[in-house]
Each structure stands twice: as structure tokens, then as C-alpha cells.
Amino acid sequence: MEMLIGRYHHPIWTLVGSTVLVAVGVGALWMELPLVAVALVLYGGGIGIESIARGTLPLALFGEENYAAIMGRLAMPSLVAQAASPSLGALLIRHFGSGGTLGVLFAVSVVDLLLATALLALVQRRRA
């Protein structure tokens, strides 16, 4: 899908779309909607699309010059979070159970969506 329509829009829209899918997927799991498979597909699709946005958005925002250095600086917080997430997840499950953990993940995904939306506003203001 991204290969078909990606060239017609700014990569920020890819990021916003991915955050929406992740938030809806995690929210559906947290609310225990009976369509678990749909929630998982939405979440997985959002994560997959995010991997595209992770590479294309910095290139569109900062250009080719120093791209590798910028990507390295952007990767560090994500790698630290990935390393810490099993331990943090175990603590959340121990203290809040699975429902509480999904609630925390939903809150984090909503914050991510708000940050992506704020970045969208900045990009649109810069392009205007």
C-alpha cells in the first residue's frame, strides 16, 4: 500500500497513520472487544508502517546530508526502550495485571499519536 500511494504524500502522514493503527489496535485489546484478530492486525499493521516512517521521515525532514548521523541519534532512545521493555512489562503485569498493562500501553500509544499530530502541525506550518 505504501509503495502505491507513498510517493503522493509527505512521510509524516505515514507516521500519523501508523500511530493511529497502533492506538486503535491496543485500545481494542484493552477494551476487550470481541474482535481480537482485527485488533492484532491493526496493531501489527501500524508497527509495520512505522518501520517505513522511521526511515523516510527523517530523510524528508532533514535531507540526505548527515542522514546516517541523525538516524544514529534517533535510534538510541528506541533501542534503550526496546532493551528495557521486557523488564518494564514484567513489572507492569506484576503490579497491574494484564488489563492494567494494556491500559498503560494504550495511554503511551495515545501520547505517541499526540506527538505525531504535533509533528504533523509543525511540518505543515513549515511547508506553508
> Looking at residue 4, what is its pLDDT?
64
pLDDT at 11 over 70: yes
Under a CB-based contact definition with an 8 Å cutoff, are residues 21 and 49 in contact?
A: yes
**pLDDT single digits (tens) 63-91:** 898 899 999 998 999 899 999 999 999 99
Kindly state the percentage of the chain with pLDDT values over 90: 70
CB-CB contact of 110 with 26 (8 Å): no
Q: Is the pTM of this model over 0.85?
A: yes
Q: In the structure grid, which three cell numbers stand for residue 60, read together?
A: 524528508
3-state secondary structure 8-77: HCCHHHHHHHHHHHHHHHHHHHHCCCCCHHHHHHHHHHHHHHHHHHHHHHHHHHHCCCCHHHHHHHHHHH
Domain residue ranges in the chain = 2-127
